[in-house]
Amino acid sequence: MTTTYAVLSEGLEKSYGEVRALRGLDLAVPEGTICGLLGPNGAGKTTAVRILTTLTAPTAGRALVAGHDVTRAPGAVRRSIGVTGQYASVDGDLTGRENLRLFARLAGLRGAAGRARADELLERFELTEAADRTASTWSGGMRRRLDLAAGLLARPRVLFLDEPTTGLDPAARDRIWTAVQELAGRSGGGGGTTVLLTTQYLEEADRLADDIVVVDGGRAVATGTPAELKSRIGSHAEVTVTHPDALTGAAAVLDRLTGGRPVLNGERLTVGVTVSDTGLTLPRIIRALDTAGIPVTDATLRPPTLDEVFLRLTRVREVAPEKEHAA
Ligand code: ATP
């Protein structure tokens, strides 16, 4: 079976004067999946999204969205996509329903068809009850859901979600996540929309994304499912000592065992380290600490969190340019 890609980019480059925001970004997002674009500040995520949504032209390389070239057929790309941002485009003076009807007209859905689609989306995002109150009285989570609904009015094949839950409380975040999962067909409710999600929350990418692309320095530095990325950097060991004086001793033992870079936490009395040696077991760690006379109250060996993966992958990139210079 051949895979159809909803978003495909090859060697995408973008320079702003001296600044090379993108330096050959390759993306391949299969149709109907959720791709999480992760990266530290300034990595190039927003620039990539701006190119893919036809808001700015690439300096080099090419990109196809829903099969259309962003440079040669920007109109066709725009008709295939929905874009929702972290800054809700909702007008506070209008009611929820009026907002959606306005967006429907802007999306080319006129008359009864536009009204019906607006009502359908209000229902879907559990906004029907509040629909006739002005949006200024709505909570942040409700406004964000309205923004998401607006992005879906024209049934886009590809939805760009730029930091959809920044600033929301956990319950509101959870409702957005469920809505996004439904869009891509995870839990019934239609589905089939391809989602390109940029987020600062690794937990969000972990929960939603089929594939994650870690962007750093304008390039993809790692691509894979959340599980693949985690397994690539090994597991994480953490020990809790009984007294602050024992922290450095425990770090020395873990350093010797793993060759990693132990991180000390004086408040929690823990030492944590990434373990790439799959043969290292918890009993071995405990025995080594015991032999060194370091008393511990707790010790764990677990898969890394996506935060740890992210820090590791992007830290690797930070040192790479120096190596390039040296070569
Ligand atoms: P953040 O997470 O902070 O939003 P990002 O990954 O989205 O970061 P971009 O906004 O794409 O990163 O920025 C990539 C680089 O390009 C940065 O160095 C930024 O300063 C630069 N840049 C972005 N837009 C412009 C512009 N219009 N003019 C000049 N430089 C720009």
In a domain, 13, yes or no: yes
> Going by CA atoms, what residue is nearest to atom 2 of ligand 1?
41
Span 247-303, pLDDT tens digits: 999 999 999 998 888 999 999 999 999 887 777 888 999 999 999 999 999 999 888
Instruction: Tell me the C-alpha distance between 299 and 297, whole Å.
Output: 7
Cβ < 6 Å from ligand 1: which residues? 16, 19, 21, 39, 41-47
pLDDT, position 318: 47
Instruction: Tell me the C-alpha distance between 200 and 222, whole Å.
Output: 16
In a domain, 275, yes or no: yes
Instruction: Tell me the C-alpha distance between 140 and 92, whole Å.
Output: 11
Statement to judge: residues 199 and 289 lie in one domain: no
pLDDT, position 172: 82
Span 7-20, pLDDT tens digits: 999 999 999 999 99
- Of 178 and 191, more confident: 178
Question: Whole-model pTM?
Answer: 0.79
Instruction: Tell me the C-alpha distance between 65 and 54, whole Å.
Output: 10
Write down the number of H helices and E strands in the chain.
11, 14
Q: Residue 188 above 50 pLDDT?
A: no
- Of 62 and 124, more confident: 62
In a domain, 321, yes or no: no
Angle at which helix 247-258 crosses helix 282-291, to 10 degrees, equals: 130
Determine the atom of ligand 1 nearest the C-alpha atom of 43: 6
Domain extent at residue 52: 5-225
Q: Residue 86 above 80 pLDDT?
A: no
Instruction: Tell me the C-alpha distance between 114 and 257, whole Å.
Output: 64
> Going by CA atoms, what residue is nearest to atom 21 of ligand 1?
21
Q: Residue 321 above 70 pLDDT?
A: no
3-state secondary structure 294-307: CCEEEEEEECCCHH
pLDDT, position 175: 83
Banded pLDDT at 191 (limits 50, 70, 90): low
Banded pLDDT at 1 (limits 50, 70, 90): low
Domain boundary among 191, 207, 225: 225
Determine the atom of ligand 1 nearest the C-alpha atom of 200: 2
Span 90-105, pLDDT tens digits: 888 999 999 999 888 8
In a domain, 78, yes or no: yes
Banded pLDDT at 75 (limits 50, 70, 90): very high
CA of 13 to the centre of ligand 1 (A): 13
Instruction: Tell me the C-alpha distance between 39 and 171, whole Å.
Output: 25
Instruction: Tell me the C-alpha distance between 64 and 58, whole Å.
Output: 12
Q: Residue 120 above 80 pLDDT?
A: yes
CA of 269 to the centre of ligand 1 (A): 38
User: What value does the mean pLDDT take over residues 55-70?
Assistant: 96
Statement to judge: residues 139 and 281 lie in one domain: no
User: What value does the mean pLDDT take over residues 150-162?
Assistant: 88
Which residue among 37, 46, 310 has the greatest number of ligand 1 atoms within 8 angstroms of its CB, and so is best to mutate? 46
Name the domain count of the chain.
2
CB-CB neighbours of 319 under 10 Å:
8
CA of 312 to the centre of ligand 1 (A): 22
Residue given tokens 């760009």 in the structure block: 160
> Going by CA atoms, what residue is nearest to atom 26 of ligand 1?
16
Statement to judge: residues 193 and 67 lie in one domain: yes
pLDDT, position 94: 92
> Going by CA atoms, what residue is nearest to atom 19 of ligand 1?
42
Determine the atom of ligand 1 nearest the C-alpha atom of 46: 7
pLDDT, position 313: 77
Determine the atom of ligand 1 nearest the C-alpha atom of 47: 11
Statement to judge: residues 197 and 269 lie in one domain: no
In a domain, 112, yes or no: yes
Q: Residue 187 above 60 pLDDT?
A: no
CA neighbor of 47 nearest in space, from 59, 35, 36: 59
Domain boundary among 166, 201, 225: 225
Statement to judge: residues 219 and 273 lie in one domain: no
Q: Please state the φ and ψ torsions of residue 230, each to the nearest 5 degrees.
A: -65, -40
Is 64:5 a contact under the CB 8 Å cutoff? yes
In a domain, 263, yes or no: yes
CA of 175 to the centre of ligand 1 (A): 30
Which residue among 15, 22, 23, 41 has the greatest number of ligand 1 atoms within 8 angstroms of its CB, and so is best to mutate? 41
pLDDT, position 316: 47
pLDDT, position 294: 95
Which residue among 22, 25, 27, 45 has the greatest number of ligand 1 atoms within 8 angstroms of its CB, and so is best to mutate? 45
Statement to judge: residues 104 and 240 lie in one domain: no
For all residues of the chain together, what is the average pLDDT? 87
